[in-house]
Structure 1
Amino acid sequence: MLYDAEFLSRLTNGVKNLMPIWNISLNADVTLLTISENATFRVQDKTPGRNLIVRVHRPDYHSESEILSELAWIEALRRDGIVATPQPIASRDGSLLQRFSDGETVRHAVAFEYMPGREPDAESDLAKWYGMLGEINARLHGHSRDWNRPEGFIRKTWNFDRILGDGAYWGDWRAALGLTPQGKEILERTHALLETQTAAYGYGADRFGLVHCDMRTANLLVEDNRLGVIDFDDCGLSWFAYDFAAAISFMEHEPFIPDLMAAWLEGYRRIAPLDAEHEAALPMLIMLRRMQLTAWIASHVETPTAQSMGTAYTDGTVALAARYLAEHS
């Protein structure tokens, strides 16, 4: 249980002790917002009226070079007007990456400006926002192709092996909560089919590059007619179309997903062409992502997201896989 109460208390104190380097009062309010791969805090300093978001990284996931590479891309995207996303905040000495000691472990922390807004939900017009998200993805992918990455840039690669294979970053789907022998057999066949299909789809420069890789609703902020995108923590090299698969994370089974896909495709094509081959790859990438998240839940049982999904998500994955096999084998 990585994120137990004692651990979160230590992280909170570590964040509080960093306040002076961002010119924030030591008596500022520090509130835990979310726990996923990382712990994210909101800092509210009433005296200068400053609000920050501080992300404390999960240990042994990203290296310092990977974190700084993420921030370099964010700054480039902001500079080039590609997407509305919070600005990373430097400390007094100009550094973006901070450290604090947690016993014998060094924790990494990054601060961002606070972006107002709310998460879009199924009760709102999700299709509208996903149409705008398609436009954002098209601009982002164009930037990804054209951007000259700085020296030392490094991010994880989300290919088949790192998503579902022996080298999967988020664990083995076979450890899925409540997985039955019958369900395992269905997922084994789906795994084999996806491995063949992704190999055939390939890794060419027209389809594989630097992507956000986690534009799910929890990482979108809407205010009036603005759609902001946060949390580039999982950005890396993957299929461009995987951005849509990631955007419907944890709701792949919902009946409105075809409407979101149609809106996303329409929005994307308002900005850039998208070949029929890449559109046809979307169901494959959605199934790939669903199985990846099933493994993530099993390997992150201490997080609120995993606990809220539980065995029901595994059952849903098996049902989606059975349908996928029937339609795509």
Structure 2
Amino acid sequence: MKILIVGAGSLGLLFAGKLLCVAGTEVRLVTRTRQQAQLINHNGIIVHEGDDREVRTNIMCTSFEEPIHADGPSDGRFDWIFLMVKQTHINAALLNYVMKTAAGSTKLLCFQNGVGHVERLVEASIPANRIYVAVTTEAARKDVDNAVAHTGAGITSIGCVEKREARDAMFMLENVLKSAGFHANIAENIETIVWKKLLVNSVINPLTSIMGIRNGQLLSSPHCLKLMESLHIEACEVLQRYGLHISDELWEQLLEVCKKTSANSSSMLQDLLAGRETEIEWINGSLIRLAAKQHIKIPAHEAVYNMVKGLEQLKRSKH
């Protein structure tokens, strides 16, 4: 199987490093900068597992600005493209890049948080029956540009946005992911899983960003828990009206995510600290827009949305 991974953040490095260890799997990586690509080409990828084990693998890597045909597989085609960039990086240039690279029957697997990216890919003339969605709870931390720590094992669910999916291709991919050490499954209800992850992110990410704390610190204060509960209740109402079944156990699952990722800084907090645009627009913003269509108010989400957007502007003005 030939896989192109676009995006070399923490998850991109983790998946690339582990997939390279699977016999018969050819992996290529695309980074945002030439500097990171050169570092990885010279030194490979280092994956630090939780048991103090270190895995080093060599990989052919190129930057987004450079053509990939010289580094691609022998026939110039990939079976899968893993799109592992953030929502904020899906722009016209990236869409054009994916269009040119997804030759023939290449399938696209999207790992983005939030919603809205699939619609943008379809609008860019990528056939819907070749677009697949992945939701992963794997936890990783990028230490340097070619090294990543696997801080928590999770589950990676994959599904197709259309019913006419190629199940054989998904089964093959599922087996490759399992061979790499990931817990993977094919999900019939991928849309529900996407929205449930969005709900979790809509609670944890903005609160940790606004307060500048790690995920686990949310559980140490009754005031933080009260805020979490308000966001959770509002999001549940929106999604239930949308037609999704929200189980009573979701609140406990949300708390469990905080515990399992207690030492992690959310990606939204990392973006804020670095002066980058966050994914708030596609997480809480998506819930706010969906609530507006239902003619209901979700004031807690509106409040954290505006606070994060305000912090974005303040941070950018300082950089």
When normalised by structure 1's length, the TM-score is: 0.29
When normalised by structure 2's length, the TM-score is: 0.29
